[in-house]
Structure 1
């Protein structure tokens, strides 16, 4: 299955008169990035932009290159990088909302957010998740799609005994949280997130038509071992599409060592439908999840977010009942723009693509 093949639907929505869509469109902006002057030793602008250019699908890469080419100075490049971190990486990683996201400086951003806001008229509801969980269990044969272990609750209900019973959960691919809002401010944030998603992952809109209001679609959900679900939701585990339909390669990023026993030994997963009424998980959506996981890893933004949360837990900032808004906490700590005296230096050297053979960091 070919994902995100370049075509009319993947053409950039903004352009530079000098931009040519060569075989490697990133060549055009490399000198511009090379001349960037970091604000301090913790400035991750260039590693972030380079990682996105390396791993975005063709349509999203073209849009990003156009956005970079439009930038007139280092401050605008910094703002673009910050908007990607706050408007995509942290929102997906932290599963929550912040009062605001640094707006992208690209042409048409405000209009794209307004358009998205007009389309998102109702918050996603958890009321349908009981049905969705049941539908996914039926489609997935009452088993975790990765480990193949049988759902414990179903076994009890059926009066059966299985040697491999585990507790499963409903796992969203694109997190449910980015489609849920309660206030006007959260609605605006949700609109910004989805405007960024469809710009840098055009196939989300052009190929499968997933929207904030259809977040509870079976194409965006799976039955998953509760232990694996936590790692998948934290983007430490991803399912990368292969050339074979419904076959995926498991990508791992610094998992707890005990999790490995829940995974197939060959690091491969094949989806099979046990109920044709419900579509299998989308390769497009899993490709987006895998791309975000990789960018979080190579930029260090995933570990950076987790480190801040651990520090806050150590001093008792997080509520014991789990009610703390994680994304707001990240925003309040200025996670993406801390000064050199407040954070350990991050890599500012030019980013090098990760070798797939070395990618499974366990």
Structure 2
């Protein structure tokens, strides 16, 4: 019933949305489809929050900015953008409640996760998973007394929710703020994590990791593979998507089933809820090419470094993605603030970004020189870093 109500609220607002028309196919306005698809993969409480946020957007520009916020401070980090998509000041969002406010999240003073802790994580998961890949069942390469007919592989400790979500410089106020924005979005749309008391400090916990063949680790981190619960305790169907390489498919068992069990130690098995959220995100990234568009935006940062000379760089997306957060509950504003006032919808009076993050004109962009391209951890050959090497 809640989902049906959410759909009604969502449809009522999106029915009035006017798409931006572009002659270029790759620049098609996907705002409406993006929000409808994201709604589909959420649980009822997350759906209710998204419906509330969408209906609270008084202008179409705010709806587009909501999509940019979700990309920059939720989906981008999940894809591996980490905390560094922009060096510009991050706009604040209105309070969603004391416990969910940006200020409160910053005040919790979470410690960043470190690569050093991954050595212990790898050791513990290797023992728990019996020195075997949980998907392919291949043994860790180099072990003795392995049956002749069994496969071996270089195994790595694969995070379920990515390490990037907890990686930031606590001495950099903008990175701290970006981290807080991201986790406010995560808790708002995936509220079971908050119920579990799962924070960025738990990303290196054993329940958020498992041993995977290096090839499968890369595909899992890229959301081209996920684990879907079968209804049998600790048993999962290994679901793959059409963009996964054929070489990775050869690593998987023919029945596409994986059963998690503890072979040694008392460490928790991969958490079903974390695996479910990963699977929900994998589904979204493969709806209508949303994942491909997000990847392209992130590649523009990482690979180009400067605006392309042929004008192919999506400048609007590169600039808009810098807006790290959108007023998620516009209804918390007063009626006078929500009504059109003749001012730009993102003016300070309406809670938008300050003038120092306004989009620049063409002449300003040409004169500005290079765009610094931050590196993304999720696109490295070994998604979890050097500590994961066997």
Global fold match (TM > 0.5): yes
Q: Which residue of 2 aligns with 1:87?
A: 73
d(CA) in 2 for partners of 1:236, 1:168: 18
Q: Is the 8 A contact 2:72 2:321 kept in 1?
A: no
Name the residue aligned to 2:220: 232
How far apart are the structure 2 equivalents of 1:53 and 1:71? 16
Q: What is the aligned partner in structure 2 of residue 40 from structure 1?
A: 21
Deviation at 1:335, TM superposition (A): 6.8
Structure 2 segments unaligned to the other structure (5+ residues): 23-27, 307-314, 324-358, 360-390
Instruction: Report the Cα distance in structure 2 between the residues aligned to 1:101 and 1:225, rounded to whole angstroms.
Output: 40
Match of 2:9 among 28, 31, 34: 28
Q: Map 1:198-237; keep pairs closer than 5 Å.
A: 198-206=187-195, 208-237=196-225
Q: Does residue 171 of structure 2 align to residue 171 of structure 1?
A: no
Number of aligned positions between the proteins: 304
User: How far does the alpha carbon of each residue in 1:215-235 deviate from its partner, in whole angstroms, 9 at most, with x for none?
Assistant: 111110111100000011111
1:343 corresponds to: none
Displacement of 1:336 in angstroms is 9.7
RMSD: 3.0
Does the 8 A contact of 1:150 with 1:164 survive in 2? yes
Cα distance in 1 between the residues matched to 2:92 and 2:37 = 17
Q: Which runs of 4+ in 1 moved over 6 A?
A: 309-317, 335-338
Q: 1:299: Cα distance to partner?
A: 3.9
In the other structure, the counterpart of 1:125 is: 114
2:229–2:235 contact (8 Å) kept in structure 1: yes
Q: Tell me the TM-score normalised to structure 1 length.
A: 0.75
2:311 counterpart residue number: none
Distance 1:120 1:138 in 2: 32
| TM-score normalised over the length of structure 2 | 0.70
Bigger Rg, which one:
2
For residue 190 of structure 1, what is the aligned residue in structure 2?
Answer: 179
Shift, 1:257, TM fit: 1.5
The equivalent residue for 2:25 is: none
> What secondary structure, in the 3-state scheme, does the structure 2 residue paired with 1:298 have?
coil
Deviation at 1:143, TM superposition (A): 0.5
The 5-angstrom pairing of residues 209-358 of structure 1 reads 209-253=197-241, 254-307=243-296, 332=318
CA deviation after TM superposition for structure 1 residue 130, in Å = 0.7
Cα 1:72/1:312, change in 2 over 3 Å: closer
Offset from partner CA, 1:267-296 (integer Å, 9 cap, x none): 222211113510000111111111111111
2:66 is the alignment partner of 1:54: no
Which consecutive residues of structure 1, in runs of 5 or more, have no partner in the other structure? 1-19, 318-328, 339-362
